[in-house]
Structure formats: structure tokens, C-alpha cells
A and B are shown apart, each in its own frame.
Chain A
């Protein structure tokens, strides 16, 4: 079957099997390998992308279901060569070690901040609770997201202070 969708602002069209999962469509057909493929069971959350503005686990969405809809992946976060505040926060606050969970974490974080620009630590932890990080113990991920919130609110002082809090 033919599927056409908008990925990161660009219309793409491919011939696919009905059973193809969105994560494999993005990685194998479009070569957008920023979206990672992890547990295959909608537990780990590294495959999170946006479908019509909502974070979804792309290992449990058929590519065909995204037909006619808008998909946004981690590749679509930066704008004109400028990293998103969430991406900068992960750089500044050491939000990753191995980097495997990072694309999903950042897509969920971006959606959280769009909805709630000043989330508490508890709200951040709740938002990323469907995602697993085996390196950081989540502390630096939470800090990274707080950094991004402060950056966007114009209240950020320094990265050192953010990580000390």
C-alpha cells in the first residue's frame, strides 16, 4: 500500500506493507535514525515521536496509521541550525551518557514544555515515566528539562546553578 505523511514538515510517500511499524518506517525507509528502536513492547520509550503534536511510542503505531498525519522526530527539533532549548539543556546538564533513550526523552520533554512551560520536578518525572534510562538515574535528565524551561522563560542563571539545585 502507498502511505503519504508529513514528517518534520516535509511530505513523504512510500510503498509499504500494512504491518510496518512507524519506528521502522522512519528508520529504515526514511533513514531518520535519530528515533531509536528499543524494547519493541511500548515500555522503554526510546522510539517516542510526535503524531499530530502528541508523543506516541512509534513501535506500537503502524506507519499506515500515520498516513495523512503529521509526524515529528528528533531530527525536526532544531530550527535553522539552532538547537531547541531542550537539546541545549541535555548538552548543558549532561542529560545523557550512552544516548540511547535521549531522542524519546527529548521529544516527550518538548511536548511537556509546550503544554506546561514551568513544570515541577515531580511533573517532569511523571511526564517521562513511560521512558527508561539506564545510565543517568534520571537526575540529570530532569535537570536538563528544568534548564530548558528556565532558558525559555529567560530566568536561567548558569548551568552550574541549575545542576546544583
Chain B
């Protein structure tokens, strides 16, 4: 039987209450949202805490997808199923629906949250790659108010984030620019598994040429990584297979996969290249349909 080591359970009803409790308990405490990554880690004794602070009652406050001009705000307690089913979100960023379809399974998606996924900081985690691809910013609240951390600074290594002991991720913000679209693809050993490698792409077009392109990769380094070199190569050029192939080469070169049970480093590098090509191709096709 797998059960976590003993801990004290605490439930909070507001962000302020959570932060005050975290401030008092320090690193002996951890927030639990959906719990579908943290509880398994605690069962395996990979994570041990004296206190677990349950923030599920905050779903009413922090479970939302707000579409504003130029910006989408998603509350940290928004669950996978809500992200999957939001037509507004899929219209702005089809990458979310692509990714959510291949995250775990429908029952797990009823519990898991955006905030929990990002704070887990697993190098293979899909929504981290999505947020990296979309250039998201993370709103982190502490005792003295909130600060905004760009996605590239949010993850500081495997299972480590910029969130301090007395802080909490409350919202993720996504800039919306016209003329863009996005896509996500994952190679996994079995349906719903962690990625062997996955890639997200977001592109913006204007009058037949690319104005910006972003690619985010999961499972090929200590954290999900954006590949800025790809934007430099693609900007100002018309989209096409040759350009995607060059971007794929850059992705394969920039990543740092490790050989493990999911595959060899060489195979993962191949996937990084191929998946980059595929997601760029699909994102451009989607952006083109939007323009037409």
C-alpha cells in the first residue's frame, strides 16, 4: 500500500490565509491543488512535508479564464478539464486544446490544475511547455503584494520554481497578438504518459511573411525551454518547409536531452527536430486559415 508519510492537513479559504500560513510554517509546508503529481511523489517519499495546505476551496476565486483585449488571464486553480473545454481559449490559443487532449486522462484532468502543473516544474510537463511557447507571465503573490515573473525565469531547475516559501502562484497571463496561431504535439510511450519529447509552436503572420515565431520544448533539458534562435531565423520570411526544417535543426541543436528509460538522447534530439517541424507547419496552417 502506498500512502504518504504522516503530515498535518490544513485547509484555507483565501489566498491571504494561504500565504499567512506559508509564512508561519516555512519550507515544512507545501500547497496542494489537484494533488495528482504531489500526492504520488509523497507516496514514494520523493517529497515529504510536515504540513500540507489544501487550496482546493480557492477554485471559486482562482478558477477562471478571462479573455481581455490583448491579454488572457487564467487563474492558477483552473483545472485541466476547464482548459480543454474552453472554446474561447481554443480560439485564441489552439495549443491549449492540443496539449490538454494528451495530458493524463479525463478523470485526472478533472483534478489537475494549471498552477499545480507549473509549480511541479517537471521537465516533461506539458502545460509548462505551452506557457513557455506562449511567452506567459506568472503572477506570484506574497506578503507584500504580487510580482510578475516571466516564464523563462519561473522554472529554476527540475522541480524548482521562483515561488518563495511564503508565496503562491495565483494567475498566469498570456499576451494576445493578432495574426497568430499555435499548435502542440507530444510523443509518449503510451496514451496520457509524460512526454518522451513534446513541442509547442506559436507563429504570427502578416501579409504572407512570418513576423514572429516561438517554439517551446519539454523533456529535453532541466526545464521546458523556449528556443529564441528560431524566431531570429523565421522573422520576415515566408513560411515553408525549408524554413521549418531549419527551425527543426536549431531546436535539435539547442536542446540537451538525456538518455533514460523513455529513450536515448539521440532519439529525443530527432524528436525535437521532427516535432518542431510539425508544430510550426500546423501553427502556420491555422494562422493562414484565420487570415483567409
Contacts and interface: CB of A to CB of B under 8 A. Distances in A.
Contacts of B39: 21, 60-62
Contact of A45 (B5, B6, B56, B107): B107
Nearest to B8: A18
A87 B32 CA distance: 35
Given A18-B52, A41-B2, A129-B106, A60 B111 contact: yes
A67 interface: yes
A130 B192 contact: yes
B2 A60 contact: no
A98 B59 CA distance: 38
A55 B5 CA distance: 26
B6 A19 contact: yes
Contact of B107 (A1, A18, A41, A57): A57
A21 B43 CA distance: 11
A42 B36 contact: yes
A60 B1 contact: no
Q: How large is the interface on A (under 10, 10 to 19, 20 to 34, 35 or more residues)?
A: 20 to 34
A23 to B, nearest CB: 10
A83 interface: no
Given A42-B40, A45-B107, A131-B107, 10 more contacts: A18-B6, A20-B3, A24-B1, A40-B2, A40-B43, A41-B40, A54-B110, A55-B107, A57-B36, A130-B107
B233 to A, nearest CB: 38
B54 interface: yes
Interface in A1-46: 1, 17-21, 24, 40-42, 45
A80 interface: no
Contacts of B52: 18, 62
B6 to A, nearest CB: 6
Interface in A74-92: none
A161 interface: no
B7 interface: yes
A42 B4 contact: no
A111 B32 CA distance: 25
Nearest to A19: B4
B11 A67 contact: yes
B241 to A, nearest CB: 32
B2 A18 contact: no
B108 interface: yes
